[in-house]
Structure 1
Amino acid sequence: MFSYRHAFHAGNHADVLKHTTLIALMKYLTQKDTALTVIDTHAGAGLYRLDGDYTETSGEAQEGVFRLFSASNVPAAHAVPASTASKKVATSKAAGAAITAGEALAPALQDYADLLRGLNPQFATSGDLAHLKIYPGSPFIEQQFLSGRDKLKLFELHPTDFKSLTGNIAQLGVGRQVTVACEDGFEVLKTFLPPPARRAMVLCDPSYEIKSDYARVAACMGDAVKRFATGTYVVWYPIIPRPEAHDLPRKLKTLATKAGRSWLNATLTVKSSKLTTDEAGDVKRPGLPASGMFVINPPHTLKAELQAALPQMVARLGQDRNAGFTLDHGG
């Protein structure tokens, strides 16, 4: 149960999608004067080293955030197969020409890049990727946008990550604005809805290491919408050859539609999900080929922001002809 460590995956292509979307959400939701409660059900360690043993062992950041910043690696965007796209889906085929080296980033991606530069001043000054060493998890991104009236509630069950998260948050010196608890985020969420000021954003981002996580996410979001229908609910999910993974966004669409709530579903694919063999004939698994972000009650600005950012993610992060994106919405 406690073997998953996000440190191995920090800064990968899924994080680029997840955190670009999260920044756009936080920017919009913190513009109002009314207090916002942000709840992160699976917070992780909060902060990661891209030059640490975990990240260097996996190498996933090299195919994610480092690839994004590399001007020398800008492949053409490719279309998602037409069979995967509904009438409401925007795909990379409709997005236009490939991104060229030196082209300005879309505003949402620029915000993501600026946040990373802020945490890595030597990288910001030199542009040398060797100085891109600190990577923020969702708790640090969320806290960056909070004002004094807002609250951030973080939950993490992994004992080692909980200890790291507690220490990392303490360094911010933000006092009671941020609370950290070693509790099951799925279970504890219900106790905070509805929030006192009737404004909330919930990020649900489990490891999905256990198959039951998929069903728990759907059940948790269904209960949350019933308790507080106007909250913004954000779910990250992997896109892998597993029935539960493909069923989850469908279940989220169904519950949002039944509740009469708007929704948005963005996916990013960087490579094929097929197994391959090496020269020795050994089977090689592709790792995570794609992921998605599902948002219930998204801000009206989010669709346009992702329409501009997703083609650039495909162009900079795509690894083969299967790379592409979808952007679906309803309600």
Structure 2
Amino acid sequence: MNYRHAFHAGNHADVLKHVVLLAVCDALTAKPTPAFALDTHAGRGLYRLKSGSAQRTGEAEQGVGRLLAAQPRDPAIGRYLKAVAACRAAHGHDAYPGSPWLLAHALREQDRIACCELQPIEAAALKANFAGDARISARESDGYAAMKALLPPKAGATKLGRGLVLIDPPYEAQLDEFDAALAALREGLQRWPQGTFALWYPIKLRRHLQPFYRKATHLPAKSALVAELLVRADDSPLRMNGSGLLLLNAPWKLDETLGAALPPLRAALDDGGGASDLRWLKPPV
């Protein structure tokens, strides 16, 4: 696998994914019972935006950089920007938190986190970055396989009923990755039907996503919500014009939280022709 998340850390897709991730975490921690989070494609979990790979692409300037300049007055966006500030206070002015760092920041002492990364160099960095946190298990492993091994989650002999699986694959196989992710989601839901599952996906040409949407409605979940942010018109197969998250068994009122956050995200990150969308593929019953 040649993909390196470091090239894209802090871009518009990361902004959307991380705003949603923190909103889900806050919903999970609203109740006192322990929760579990699995990050299947974790990367290294902590990045530098002013050096190395991220600096070469400059994508963060068009993502988190714009949002920091705009400072939209939305609670979910503010929550994300405070997390970025906390990361920089701990790790330096050009630090950017990946999803493992945000999970560690948002979840509690009684919660448990498993992070998987298949690429050896990234996995080694992941293990080093979180070596001091007993809540986190960092693994050099295939995230899809880890879903079979780790679900349903347990803490000792106790099953954990609440939590999140975040699937953020590299989509190197292009549209074939959707089939692999949907198969993993189906099996994950069968193993842990009460869990919340979030699948991130890129948007290039929207019409290519129609089969994915149809198949998602047939997954054995109680509900299916999509949250999408486009920074450009979805009319080019040659670049990522936006991204979305498929949220299965979304927490109560998450749609209201994201419905308020998406318009100011679009306004801050729009490159011309942008849009946002929030809709139920399968409404909760």
Relative to the length of structure 1, the TM-score reads 0.79
Kindly indicate whether the alpha-carbon contact (under 8 Å) linking 2:204 and 2:238 is maintained by their aligned counterparts in 1. Answer: no
Where does residue 188 of structure 1 map in the other structure? Answer: 146
Kindly indicate whether the alpha-carbon contact (under 8 Å) linking 2:266 and 2:274 is maintained by their aligned counterparts in 1. Answer: yes
Say if 2:284 is the partner of 1:326: no
Q: Which has the higher contact order (CA 8 A, sep 6+)?
A: 1
Q: Which runs of 5+ in 1 are unaligned?
A: 72-101, 124-130, 276-284
Q: Return closer, same or farther for 1:122/1:143 CA change in 2, 3 Å cut-off.
A: closer
State the Cα distance separating 1:249 from its structure 2 match.
3.3
Aligned residue identity for 1:185: G
Where does residue 179 of structure 2 map in the other structure? Answer: 215
In the alignment, the residues of structure 2 paired with residue 169 and residue 260 of structure 1 have an alpha-carbon distance, to the nearest angstrom, of: 32
Give the match's secondary structure for 1:300: coil
Q: Return closer, same or farther for 1:132/1:160 CA change in 2, 3 Å cut-off.
A: same
> Aligned Cα RMSD in Å?
2.0
In the alignment, the residues of structure 1 paired with residue 213 and residue 49 of structure 2 have an alpha-carbon distance, to the nearest angstrom, of: 30
Where does residue 29 of structure 1 map in the other structure? Answer: 28
What does the per-residue CA deviation read over 1:240-295, in whole Å, with 9 as the maximum and x for residues that have no partner? 2387644333322221xxx35112100000013445xxxxxxxxx86310100111
Q: Return closer, same or farther for 1:132/1:264 CA change in 2, 3 Å cut-off.
A: farther
- Aligned equivalent of 1:301, options 253, 256, 264: 253
State the Cα distance separating 1:197 from its structure 2 match.
2.0
In the alignment, the residues of structure 2 paired with residue 246 and residue 46 of structure 1 have an alpha-carbon distance, to the nearest angstrom, of: 32
Q: Which runs of 5+ in 2 are unaligned?
A: 154-158
What does the per-residue CA deviation read over 1:57-113, in whole Å, with 9 as the maximum and x for residues that have no partner? 111111101111224xxxxxxxxxxxxxxxxxxxxxxxxxxxxxx7x5210000001
Bigger Cα Rg: 1
In the alignment, the residues of structure 1 paired with residue 125 and residue 160 of structure 2 have an alpha-carbon distance, to the nearest angstrom, of: 30
State the Cα distance separating 1:301 from its structure 2 match.
2.0
Q: Return closer, same or farther for 1:122/1:228 CA change in 2, 3 Å cut-off.
A: closer
Say if 2:160 is the partner of 1:197: yes
Identity %: 36
State the Cα distance separating 1:152 from its structure 2 match.
0.4
What does the per-residue CA deviation read over 1:119-149, in whole Å, with 9 as the maximum and x for residues that have no partner? 22399xxxxxxx8511011000001122222
Q: Return closer, same or farther for 1:244/1:219 CA change in 2, 3 Å cut-off.
A: farther
Say if 2:15 is the partner of 1:16: yes
Say if 2:133 is the partner of 1:165: no
Q: Return closer, same or farther for 1:243/1:155 CA change in 2, 3 Å cut-off.
A: farther
Give the match's secondary structure for 1:174: coil
Where does residue 78 of structure 1 map in the other structure? Answer: none
Give the match's secondary structure for 1:70: helix
Q: Return closer, same or farther for 1:309/1:243 CA change in 2, 3 Å cut-off.
A: closer
Give the match's secondary structure for 1:305: helix
In the alignment, the residues of structure 2 paired with residue 145 and residue 6 of structure 1 have an alpha-carbon distance, to the nearest angstrom, of: 21
Relative to the length of structure 2, the TM-score reads 0.91
Structure 1, 235-244 or 224-233: larger mean CA deviation? 235-244
Where does residue 268 of structure 2 map in the other structure? Answer: 316
Where does residue 269 of structure 1 map in the other structure? Answer: 230
Kindly indicate whether the alpha-carbon contact (under 8 Å) linking 1:205 and 1:237 is maintained by their aligned counterparts in 2. Answer: yes
In the alignment, the residues of structure 2 paired with residue 327 and residue 146 of structure 1 have an alpha-carbon distance, to the nearest angstrom, of: 26
Q: Return closer, same or farther for 1:309/1:162 CA change in 2, 3 Å cut-off.
A: same
- Aligned equivalent of 1:288, options 222, 236, 240: 240
Aligned residue identity for 1:112: Y
In the alignment, the residues of structure 2 paired with residue 62 and residue 234 of structure 1 have an alpha-carbon distance, to the nearest angstrom, of: 26
Kindly indicate whether the alpha-carbon contact (under 8 Å) linking 1:239 and 1:246 is maintained by their aligned counterparts in 2. Answer: no
Aligned residue identity for 2:133: V
Q: Return closer, same or farther for 1:3/1:243 CA change in 2, 3 Å cut-off.
A: farther
